[in-house]
Structure 1
């Protein structure tokens, strides 16, 4: 049995030339400092902070998001920061391909690898690194500067290793983000009366 389509109101989303679908009800600050790889879905009430960046020349891309990513409702993406000699500095954040971020999650990681699932209500601390093919379960809090290894499942507060993922994780998450979500995320056809 085939999964049913996920319909959205076409008037609520902007579709870019590269197939990104961005809700008009999301908040994108500093869009000139944000790069979307293509075929990424940003749902309503998401906040992406591209306006928080280091001062000075040569620091333009603050948030880079890869292809086939899903940013669920109300998630917050903001670059990590630290204070050095009394000056607050923000650093770039990279989210790779085929990443799913659940509703109400807050991400301040330095890097999120490809084929990663972050559950609902998660907090990913500043400068955390999440390697490829890993999963963070709902409600988890990843401490700042934590490195999550590939093929691992983390859960809890603070998040700890609770399981390992099979080698097929990459293929499963790739098909999940492409066929099970992006290709089923379709504009709702409104019939005129």
Structure 2
């Protein structure tokens, strides 16, 4: 399936030196604690919470995002948290390369591997681990601390294995994410 060309107003997006395209209508809290690897697109209304981090000394990077990632409208990315030995803390989140997060999805995973597609209106629970080369279907709830193995498709509430992906999925997702980036172009003004 060929992706359509998406045209956007150049005044609505900020393009960084590394090719990231960030909507002025997205919400980025604690930007000094967020790393965007390059050629990542944050659409209108997407939220990344880099301000939710441990207090005191420790990890300064809260959310690390790889290259060619796509965050759809209204998705929320926030680091996982828990109370341990009476102390409440947030923990860092790592997102790999070529990851797509659908509209209205909430992600609180510990890590998401590369070449992952997460559908619309999903909830990825605290400290979940989504391994590389996997897909989460629309409206799926992945429970806290769950592990989604590589080359699998998870769906439902709670999310469970519904199918497997071919070994070629890495190339398919990589081609699709590069194609999406190339077809996300400004309107001539």
State the TM bucket, normalised to the shorter chain: over 0.9
Output aligned runs, 1:8-47, within 5 Å.
8-47=8-47
Displacement of 1:15: 0.2
Task: Compare 83-92 and 167-176 and name the one that shifted more.
Answer: 83-92
Superposition RMSD in Å: 1.2
- Please say if 1:49 is aligned against 2:43: no
When structure 1 is superposed on structure 2, of 100-109 and 49-58 the one drifting more is: 49-58
Distance 1:189 1:86 in 2: 56
TM-score where L is the length of structure 2 = 0.98
| CA displacement, residues 34-88 of structure 1 (integer Å, 9 cap, x when unaligned) | 0000000000001100000011213200000000000000000000000123321
Which 4+ residue blocks in structure 1 deviate beyond 6 angstroms? none
Name 1:185's counterpart in structure 2.
184
Distance across 2 between alignment mates of 1:2 and 1:62: 35
Q: 1:90 to 1:126 in 2, by over 3 A?
A: same
TM-score, structure 1 as length reference? 0.96
Question: Which residue number corresponds to residue 171 of structure 1?
Answer: 171
List alignment gaps of at least 5 residues for structure 1.
none
Secondary structure (helix, strand or coil) at the match of 1:10 reads coil
Runs of at least 5 residues in structure 2 that lack an aligned partner in the other structure: none
Q: Distance in 2 between matches of 1:65 and 1:109?
A: 13
Q: How does 1:5-154 map to 2 (within 5 A)?
A: 5-154=5-154
User: 1:56, 1:152 → 2: CA distance?
Assistant: 39
> Aligned residue pairs: how many?
189
